[in-house]
Amino acid sequence: MKQFEQSELLKSLPKQFFASLVSKVAKVIKEGHDVINLGQGNPDQPTPPHIVKALQDASENPNYHKYSPFRGQAFLKKAAAAFYEREYGVQLNPEKEVAILFGGKAGLVEIPQCLLNPGDTVLVPDPGYPDYWSGVELARAKMEAMPLKKENDFLPVYEEISEEVKQKAKLMFLNYPNNPTGAVATASFFEKTVEFARQYDTCIVHDFAYGAIGFDGQKPISFLQTPGAKEVGIEIYTLSKTYNMAGWRIGFAVGNESVIEAINLLQDHLFVSVFSGIQQAAAVALLESQNCVDELVERYESRRQVLIHGLREIGWDVEAPPGSFFAWLPVPKSYTSEEFSDLLLEKAHVVVAPGIGFGEYGEGYVRVGLLTDEDRLKEAVDRIAKLNLFKKYVDNSF
């Protein structure tokens, strides 16, 4: 059979680092081992029943069997605006400041294509979500890394970016609560971000995928709560994590009117909007009782307690994440992140994600997901303990 050569664009896309991890895990499972997978970012709980019921009912509406409006249903845009006003005190114009997305990932990959020309500069967090890189490459733009370091609470330090890069930066990606580090942003950091954007005419894209997940009684803040934020950027929100709707592929972008219009224009050419039944269920999720969200955050916080306490007991010097459903754990000095990840998989049959997969500054860490029940987390800790990698001590404090 004739093989047609891929385009230069496809050839230029970043290698999918985690495909190799999936392959390694599959091999161990095929050998018959019981693998505890803490390397994933896929919510393990089902979508709340009232949201499922909303989709079931909506699927019977014959009006929803037709094409959806190109730019999404007005009722979902209004629901998104109501959600932001209720949760964050942010007022949005549903028609001009909300764009419906096929999940948050779609928006994040689309944004560079909406705003950038070949050769334009984008500031990306390192470590960061790898799909930022994909969108930048599709736009033929150029990335400049913003290191996220422990000593800076995993926040970028704008003073450390060269003046030349600042002058060129047309777009900046941020993500708090952060994947992979679990760090959260402060109001003062977002204020500095708005100042930066105004000074250098840079569009800010805040990936708020884990916006609902904050611990110790602290609710993560929205970038749009910052005075002037709507003037300089947008925020992308997905229902995947807040409502366990990862497979539903529904999210939205909110904020700067010109950026929202650019997203809508690109999507006009790519596809007709999401099935209206899913949009109806999403509106129900955003507008009705949020008890399911509170319960989910409590579940993750309890899992965090079990994992962090257990790891500290076996002598692993780790810190509890303040947000997201990930923990960012330092690797023993004698290993690279990939070597340590391989060791845990091969000897303990525990999967973690090596930090190098999230960028150069991810080296020295592994990412662990709080996405399995507490008994399995305890078992993972026990398996790691048997490798005798750490000097045992007990520390019950967070």
Q: Directed axis angle between helix 276-287 and helix 74-88, to 10°?
A: 20
Is there a domain that residue 104 lies in? yes
Residue 260, burial from CB neighbour count under 10 angstroms (0-12, 13-18, 19+): buried
211 is written with which tokens?
Answer: 């916006």
What digits encode the pLDDT tens for the residues 271-328?
Answer: 999 999 999 999 999 999 999 999 999 999 999 999 999 999 999 999 999 999 999 9
Is the domain of 77 the same as that of 220? yes
Q: Are residues 270 and 304 in the same domain?
A: no
Q: Are strands 121-126 and 365-369 parallel, antiparallel or unpaired?
A: unpaired
Indicate if 251 and 279 belong to the same structural domain. yes
- How many independent structural domains does the chain possess? 2
Residue 118, domain member (yes or no):
yes
Query: What would the mean pLDDT of 215-221 be, rounded to a whole number?
Result: 97
Q: Residue 154: inside a domain, yes or no?
A: yes
Are residues 22 and 81 both part of a single domain?
A: no
Q: Which domain holds residue 132?
A: 49-287
Q: What's the pLDDT tens digit per position in 241-261?
A: 999 999 999 999 999 999 999
Beta bridge partners of 293: none
CATH of residue 300: 3.90.1150.10
Residue 269 burial class via C-beta count within 10 angstroms: exposed 0-12, middle 13-18, buried 19 and up: exposed
Question: What is this structure's pTM?
Answer: 0.96
DSSP letters spanning 93-143: -TTTSEEEESHHHHHHHHHHHHH--TT-EEEEEES--THHHHHHHHTT-EE
Please report whether residue 3 resides in a domain.
no
Q: Are 149 and 160 members of one domain?
A: yes
**Residue 395 pLDDT more than 80?**
no
Residue 394 lies in a domain: no
Asked whether residue 153 carries a pLDDT value surpassing 60, the answer given is: yes
